């Protein structure tokens, strides 16, 4: 049947949903710790989590042999998505500190 939706679409949607939820959990955790929230920051965090989750889902097949057996694809995606925004923020801070004039 040519009108059937390929199963890869469902995997992609699952990765995006899990990544977005992991990003929201990260946002809630940081807000409860006193980080001031703004719309731009929230959207940026969710997008960073979705990007990290997508990249993790594409990298998982190459890392299957090197990861412990209990780390399934969805666990790997959620962990990477949760920590993705924080990793990008840390990398940005380190990068800006190396520039003349330091971190602004």
Query: What are the φ/ψ torsions at residue 66 (nearest 5 degrees)?
Result: -90, -10
Q: How many domains are contained in the chain?
A: 1
Asked, for residue 36, whether it belongs to a domain, the answer is yes
Asked, for residue 103, whether it belongs to a domain, the answer is no
Mean pLDDT computed over every residue of the chain: 85
Residue 84: give the domain boundaries.
26-98
Asked, for residue 10, whether it belongs to a domain, the answer is no
Asked, for residue 93, whether it belongs to a domain, the answer is yes
pTM for the predicted model, two decimal places: 0.78
- For 77, residues 6+ apart whose C-beta sits below 8 A from its C-beta are 15, 18, 19, 22, 53, 56, 57, 60
Q: Which residue has the higher pLDDT, 12 or 102?
A: 12
pLDDT tens for 3-38 read: 665 668 888 888 889 988 988 888 888 889 888 888
Q: How far apart are CA 58 and CA 60, in angstroms?
A: 6
Confidence of residue 62 (pLDDT cuts 50, 70, 90): very high
pLDDT at 1: 46
Asked, for residue 2, whether it belongs to a domain, the answer is no
Asked, for residue 3, whether it belongs to a domain, the answer is no
Asked, for residue 35, whether it belongs to a domain, the answer is yes
Asked, for residue 73, whether it belongs to a domain, the answer is yes
- Scan for tokens 């299957």, then name that residue: 64
């Amino acid at each position: 049947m040519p009108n059937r939706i390929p199963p890869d679409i469902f995997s992609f949607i699952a990765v995006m949903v899990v990544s977005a939820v992991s990003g929201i959990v990260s946002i809630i955790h940081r807000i409860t710790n006193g980080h001031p929230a703004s719309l731009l920051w929230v959207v940026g965090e969710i997008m960073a989590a979705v990007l990290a989750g997508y990249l993790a889902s594409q990298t998982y097949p190459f890392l299957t042999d090197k990861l412990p057996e209990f780390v399934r694809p969805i666990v790997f995606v959620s962990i990477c998505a949760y920590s993705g925004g924080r990793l990008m923020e840390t990398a940005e801070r380190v990068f800006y500190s190396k520039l003349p004039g330091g971190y602004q």
